[in-house]
Amino acid sequence: MFRSHVLVCGGTGCHSNRSEEIIKQFNRQIQACGLEKDVQVVQTGCFGLCAAGPVVIIYPEGAFYSHVKIEDVEELVSEHLVKGRIVERLLHKDEEDEPNKLKALSETNFYKKQTRVALRNCGVINPENIDEYIAYDGYQALIKALTEMTPQGVIDELLKSGLRGRGGAGFPTGRKWQFTKDAPGDIKYVACNADEGDPGAFMDRSVLEGDPHAVLEAMTIAGYAVGAQQGYIYIRAEYPIAVERLRVAIGQAREYGLLGKNILGTGFNFDIDIRLGAGAFVCGEETALMTSIEGHRGEPRPRPPFPAVKGLFGKPTLLNNVETYANIAQIILKGADWFAQMGTEKSKGIKVFALGGKINNTGLVEIPMGTPLRQVIEDIGGGIPNGKKFKAAQTGGPSGGCIPAELIDIPIEYESLLSIGSMMGSGGLIVMDEEKCMVDIAKFFLEFTVDESCGKCTACRIGTKRLYEMLCKVTDGKATMEDLDKMEQLCYYIKENSLCGLGQSAPNPVLSTLKYFRDEYVAHVRDKICPAGVCKSLIRYKIDPTKCVGCTLCARNCPANAIRGTVKQPHVIDNDLCVKCGACESRCKFKAIYKEGGKK
Amino acid sequence: MKTIADIQAIRDKMKSQIVVRDKDTSDEIRVIVGMATCGISAGARPVFNTLMDEVANRQLKNVKVVRTGCLGMCTLEPIVEVLEPGKEKVTYCRVTPAKAKEIIDRHIVGGNICTQYLINNEE
């Protein structure tokens, strides 16, 4: 038996910070010290606090080490594991902490206010070991459903829990299951939407990487409830770690008889296969996703008929998102009432958010519905870096909108976000500080939807492109005030004339920034100024002749050869040649180069 | 293929192995073993292992066996300290695996301090 467990995060964030090599180094060092029988090194899923990665936790002490480098491993082994001394310099610190205090993960500011349900096993178990999942009550919900509950009983429990789809639209999950169960037909399917496409959202990936069996178990329960024998997980090939761990998990579940024929000797048959997507955003839309699983080009089709009636291969199909499934087993085990007492009246339970952008604690947070945005940003997220001011938060990715600073106290739930022109979406939460230009943000998302529009509907295919061009006019300082009104009109036109969610929501970033940051648009159009100093056409780089010592560093680094001047004399930037890359500003050691939020 | 009973057996077996990772500190009893060079050379490792095995075998959920560094009294190693919430710290010295078993049995489970092994006797 192992006396000590070393948990190393193997989520994508830490993985790209070389956590795999850290694990190898741990194993090497532990062997060198002859501790391989005493210490177990476990690769887990995402701990959530990606900003502090690579993360290592050593139990039984529960020492939470952050920013661990390969060179640190030797010290961790010789000090902590051999001698039992905590390596204080590597302990994770919250800002206000007294230095070097041993703190459990759950006691840090980041985790203290979270409630972990969908992420309960992420960062706790080894996702490639089914036994560890079972140890944390894994597959108990499946056993309970198969032996103690009727299919209708399972659905009733879900209806009572008030769980709503976590993929974006928030349709009540229980009702979806009911529709699929009630739809006539012998062959039905269960599908999982793991085509997480929103820029800035990565909760589904982390669930699959950290706890793949939770999704398999829930899909099997779903198969039992709606009367299906086959499940598909549609996941993008861009998530190689998640795909690999799912493959391992499916293999183990089949070996244990938790998938396949006669599951656990109960006579119920269910199996799951993986279908890889090529990464098209539109394939996150349910009808396009199913078309893609069938082997066709991923294009949406009109609804009705809804997938619950006519889905995959023309059969009734239940399609839920990864995070939705990740909640199911817990609801079955702990009961609908336990789930329903969390959250608000209309939005029950908890929701995972991917915190990104200008925020200190980038990572995954799971919070009760109705938590005020302020708490997420200031307490859990640790505020904005470098003392900058909070300007807006973007939720729902390219389909969502911006929440401006004056609405920071809004509770996060489905209805409240819709009422202010944003949406829950899959849960991406991008924080922006005062240095972000809102027109530029809208342009970024539009560029994304122009690229990702499948082209089926004219309003979406051409409309988004025209809208993007109008935004370019604004950021170039060439737009007129009439253009702003035309833009708004076009937004509604695209929304009303598109078939699927992509087109219907693509103008949202423009509409919400126009609503809350109209003054910024006006500044671009009328005053030809980008207040945040982002839009290249409207800014100029200048050299302060009183500060410039003529070191020539800027001139040598300018890719456009736009900086002139002789040694030891103040230099000058030729604004006709300048490409506004900012290389000179970041290189100047005398802070002599500055940006002018320029008038032309 | 596994049966439901098999799954439950795996769960029970694995639970005792991963209990180390639970970090609920509210009402736990901490058994601390000095495991610096002095402690290890005096035989702290088998003591530590015995304590861990006893705790796991008896499924003592609220007991955590942890290591610490040198306690400063190297001649009295292996030293084992027991910290119970709301009670005074108890320090045992020159602990052997046999004594460790007794400490778990009489002190942790039974609630009676094994006075004959206390550090107070050495003074």
pLDDT in tens, A123-151: 888 999 999 999 999 999 999 999 999 99
What b-and-e string marks burial along B83-122, b requiring 16 or more CB atoms within 10 Å of the CB?
A: bbeeeeebbbbbbebebbebbbeebbeeeebbeebebeee
In contact, A229 and A271? CB cutoff 8 Å? yes
Locate CATH 1.20.1440.230 in chain A.
438-525
Tell me which architecture the domain covering A438-525 has in CATH: Up-down Bundle (1.20)
pLDDT-based confidence at residue A234 (cuts at 50, 70, 90) = very high
**Beta carbons of A383 and A361 less than 8 angstroms apart:** no
Render pLDDT for A417-453 as a digit per residue (tens, 0 to 9): 989 888 888 889 999 999 999 999 999 999 999 999 9
pLDDT at A95: 66
Q: What string of DSSP letters covers A100-135?
A: T----GGGSHHHHT---STTTTTTTS-TT-HHHHHH
Does the pLDDT of residue B23 top 70, yes or no? Answer: no
Average pLDDT, rounded, for chain A: 92
Please say whether the beta carbons of A587 and A528 come within 8 A: no
Strand-pairing partners, residue A57, are: A7, A64
Given CA atoms A171, A176, A178, A184 in this order, what sign does their dihedral have? Answer: positive
Could you tell me whether strands A572-573 and A563-564 are parallel, antiparallel, or unpaired per DSSP bridges?
Answer: antiparallel
* Averaged pLDDT, B36-40: 80
Contacts of A7 in chain B (CB under 8 A): 21
Paired strand residues for A275: A234
- DSSP state letter for A344: -
**Three-class SS of B30-54:** EEEEECCHHHHHCCHHHHHHHHHHH
Q: Which CATH number fits domain A350-433: 3.40.190.10, 3.10.20.600, 3.40.50.300, 3.40.1350.10?
A: 3.10.20.600
Q: Is A546 exposed, middle or buried (0-12, 13-18, 19+ CB in 10 A)?
A: exposed
**pLDDT category, A396, cuts 50, 70, 90?**
confident
Fold for domain A4-105? Glutaredoxin (3.40.30)
With tokens 């073993």, the residue in question is: B33
pLDDT tens-digit series, residues A255-298: 999 999 999 999 999 999 999 999 899 999 999 999 999 999 99
- Answer whether A574 touches B (CB < 8 Å): no
Taking the Cβ of residue A136 and every Cβ of chain B, the question of whether any pair is shorter than 8 Å is answered with yes
What's the token pair of residue A511? 């509409």
Which of B15, B65, B69 has its CB closest to that of A83?
A: B69
Parallel, antiparallel or unpaired: strands B80-83 and B29-34: antiparallel
Greater pLDDT, A469 or B41: A469
Q: Are the C-beta atoms of A584 and A556 separated by less than 8 Å?
A: no
Flag whether residue A134 sits within 8 Å of chain B, measured between CB atoms: yes
Q: Would you place residue B26 in the very low, low, confident or very high pLDDT band (cuts 50, 70, 90)? A: low
The ipTM (two decimal places) reads: 0.79
Cβ contacts (< 8 Å) between A132 and chain B: which residues? 14, 18
User: Residues of CATH 3.40.30.10 domain(s) within chain A?
Assistant: 4-105
Contact state of A1 with B18 under an 8 Å Cβ cutoff: no
Residue A179 to residues A150, A272, A471, A543: CA-CA distances in angstroms?
Answer: 16, 21, 42, 67
**Which tokens in the block code for residue B12?**
């029970």
Q: Do B15 and A3 touch (CB under 8 A)?
A: no
Length of chain A equals 600
State how far the Cα of A216 lies from the Cα of A196, in Å rounded to an integer.
Answer: 17
Phi, psi (degrees; rounded to nearest 5) at A25: -65, -40
Nearest CA in chain B to A35: B45
Whether residue B11 and residue A134 make contact (CB cut-off 8 A), yes or no, is yes
Asked if A140 reaches chain B (Cβ–Cβ under 8 Å), the answer is yes
Q: Write down the pLDDT at residue A599.
A: 44
Which band of pLDDT confidence, cut at 50, 70 and 90, is reported for residue A600?
very low
* Residue in A135, A260, A265 closest to B18 by CB: A135
User: Could you read off the pLDDT of A513-529 as tens digits, one per residue?
Assistant: 999 999 999 999 999 99
Of the two residues B75 and A56, the one the predictor is more confident about is: A56
The Cα–Cα gap between A290 and B29 comes to 54
Select the residue of B4, B23, B65 nearest A105 (Cβ to Cβ).
Answer: B23
Q: Give the distance, in angstroms, between the CA of residue A432 and the centroid of all CA atoms in the same chain.
A: 16
Q: Closest partner residue to A84 among B11, B53, B68, by Cβ?
A: B68
Phi, psi (rounded to 5 degrees) for A218: -65, -40
Residue A445, min C-alpha distance to chain B (Å)? 42
Across B20-34, b (16+ Cβ under 10 Å) vs e yields: bbbbeeeebbbbbbb
Residues A287-329: tens digit of each pLDDT: 999 999 999 999 999 989 999 999 999 999 999 999 999 999 9
The strand ranges marked E within B35-123 are 63-68, 80-83, 90-92
pLDDT number for residue A199: 86
Interior angle at CA A385, CA A379 and CA A389, nearest 5: 85
**Separation of alpha carbons A362 and A19, rounded Å:** 17
Handedness of CA A458, A462, A468, A469 (dihedral sign): negative
Phi then psi dihedrals of residue B13, to 5 deg: -65, -45
Q: What is the pLDDT of residue B30?
A: 85
Q: Is the pTM of this model over 0.80?
A: yes
DSSP helix/strand/coil, A284 = helix
Enumerate helices (H) and strands (E) in chain A, giving the number of each: 24, 17
Helix (H, G, I), strand (E, B) or coil at A76: helix
Dist CA A337 CA B85 (whole Å): 33
| CB–CB contact A60 B20 (8 Å) | yes
A101/A375: higher pLDDT: A375
Q: Which residue has the tokens 């060079």?
A: B37
Q: What class does CATH assign to A130-339?
A: alpha beta
The domain B24-122 having CATH identifier 3.60.20.10: the answer here is no
Size of interface A-B (CB pairs under 8 A): 90
User: At residue A549, what are phi and psi to the nearest 5 degrees?
Assistant: -100, 0
Cis omega (within 30 of 0) on the bond before A54?
Answer: yes
As assigned by CATH, the class of the A539-596 domain is alpha beta
Least confident residue range of A60-64, A139-143, A162-166: A60-64
Dist CA B58 CA A583 (whole Å): 65
**CA distance to partner chain B, nearest, from residue A257 (Å):** 5
Q: How far is A141 from chain B (nearest CA, A)?
A: 12
The verdict on a CB contact (< 8 Å) between B4 and A106 is no
Of all helices (H) and strands (E), which one includes residue A572? strand A572-573
With CA atoms as reference, the chain B residue closest to A259 would be B1
Nearest to A1 among B11, B52, B67 (CB): B52
A258 close to B (CB below 8 A):
yes
**Nearest residue of chain A to residue B19 (CA atoms):** A60
- What mean pLDDT comes out for the span A384-413? 92
A-chain residues near B54 (CB < 8 A): none
* Min Cα–Cα distance to chain A from B119, Å: 21
Name the 3-class secondary structure at A72.
helix
β-pairing, A390-395 vs A350-357, is: unpaired
**Which pLDDT tens digit goes with each residue over B92-101?**
999 999 999 9
- A214 has pLDDT over 70: yes
Of A84, A124, A264, which has the smallest distance from its Cβ to B21's Cβ?
A: A124
> CA dist A509 to A384, A432, A439, A477, A517, Å?
22, 14, 9, 20, 11
Task: Give the helix, strand, coil percentages of chain B, each rounded to 5.
Answer: 50, 15, 35
Does the structure show a pLDDT above 90 at A507?
Answer: yes
Give the DSSP letter string of A243-273: HHHHHHHHHHHHHTTSSBSSGGGSS--BEEE
Cβ separation B10–A84 shorter than 8 A:
no
Which residue did the predictor score with more confidence, B83 or A69? A69
The DSSP secondary-structure symbol of B118 reads B
- Top mean pLDDT of A59-68, A368-377, B57-66 is at A368-377
Q: Is the peptide bond before A307 cis (omega within 30 degrees of 0)?
A: no
CA distances from A391 to A199, A351, A399, A432 (A): 19, 23, 19, 6
Residues in B lying within 8 Å of A, measured between beta carbons: 1-4, 6-7, 10-11, 14-18, 20-21, 23, 25, 33-37, 48-49, 52-53, 56, 64-69
Taking phi over 0 as left and psi of -120 to 50 as alpha, with beta for the rest, A591 belongs to left
